[in-house]
């Protein structure tokens, strides 16, 4: 990329938090990174579809549960990699290979049967995801509904692996479950009004 083009891309991307290095990292996932960067140079507000499995995998969670996972990652854990929101789901960018390993770890934890963890969509090799535009300002809505919550800012961002996302999902599920020392009410029990007793 020429220095003139770099300055143009840099000027545009600084608004949203996606740096030129972050854009280059995203574009590196595709077959033709230069074409993706050229598209963003002409239309910095255009989301693109990029393949998973080489630069990153993506784990999609329902928005509320994904937010709980993100809170756990930042409040109690190591933080997160890039995170986007798209059509009511939170997209957590993860290390390549996560999409293949995470479902078996979740099954091993046996949370899949209890329903405490909602279905997580794991996108890896052979899958593709819609990536927000570099100019999609962090936290702001776009016509496509795709936006960055944590924008990529380096060529080699830290990405959580399957064990870290498992930990975050388990912690988020436990935080959502209310614990009571009282047994659940018996739904078939007969209730008598004793307030009129003599």
pLDDT tens for the chain, 198 residues long, are: 444 434 433 343 334 578 999 999 999 999 999 999 999 999 988 899 999 999 999 999 999 999 999 999 999 989 999 999 999 999 999 999 999 999 999 888 765 455 688 999 999 999 999 999 887 655 555 556 789 999 999 999 999 999 999 999 999 998 776 555 555 555 555 555 555 555
**SS3 per residue for the chain:** CCHHHHHHHHHHHCCCCCCHHHHHHHHCCCCCHHHHHHHHHHCCCCCEEEECCCCCEEEEEEHHHHHHHHHHHHHCCCCCCCEEEECCEEEEEECCCHHHHHHHHHHHCCHHHHCCCCCCEEECCCCEEEECCCCCCCCCCCCCCEEEEECCCCCCCCCCCHHHHHHHHHHHHHHHCCCCCCCCCCCCCCCCCCCCCC
Chain centroid to Cα 198, Å, comes to: 62
Could you tell me if 5 and 41 are in contact, meaning their C-beta atoms sit under 8 angstroms apart? yes
The pLDDT value given to residue 136 = 60
The pLDDT value given to residue 28 = 96
The pLDDT value given to residue 108 = 83
Chain centroid to Cα 75, Å, comes to: 16
Residue located via tokens 């960018």 = 93
Nearest of 51, 42, 79, 44 to residue 158 by alpha carbon: 79
The pLDDT value given to residue 21 = 95
Q: What pTM value is reported for the model?
A: 0.78
The pLDDT value given to residue 11 = 41
Residues 22-40 as b or e (16 or more Cβ within 10 Å = b): bbbbbbbbbeebeebbeeb
The pLDDT value given to residue 71 = 95
Q: How far is CA 124 from CA 41, 59, 90, 114, 156, in A?
A: 27, 9, 16, 25, 18
């Amino acid at each position: 990329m020429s220095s003139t083009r770099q300055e143009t891309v840099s000027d545009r991307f600084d608004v949203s938090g996606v740096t030129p290095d972050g854009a280059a990292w995203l574009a590196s996932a595709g077959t033709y990174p230069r074409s993706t960067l050229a598209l963003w140079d002409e239309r910095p507000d255009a989301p693109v579809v990029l393949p998973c499995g080489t630069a990153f995998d993506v784990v999609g969670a329902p928005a509320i549960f994904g937010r709980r996972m993100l809170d756990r990652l930042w409040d109690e854990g190591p933080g997160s990699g890039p995170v986007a929101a798209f059509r009511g789901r939170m997209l957590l960018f993860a290390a390549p290979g996560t999409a293949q390993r995470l479902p078996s770890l979740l099954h091993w934890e046996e949370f899949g049967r209890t329903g405490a963890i909602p279905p997580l969509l794991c996108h890896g090799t052979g899958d593709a995801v819609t990536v927000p535009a570099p100019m999609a300002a962090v936290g702001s809505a776009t016509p496509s509904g795709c936006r960055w919550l944590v924008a990529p800012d380096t060529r080699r961002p830290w990405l959580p692996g399957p064990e870290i996302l498992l930990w975050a999902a388990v912690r988020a599920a436990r935080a959502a479950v209310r614990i009571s020392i009282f047994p659940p009410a018996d739904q078939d029990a007969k209730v008598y009004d004793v307030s009129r007793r003599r």
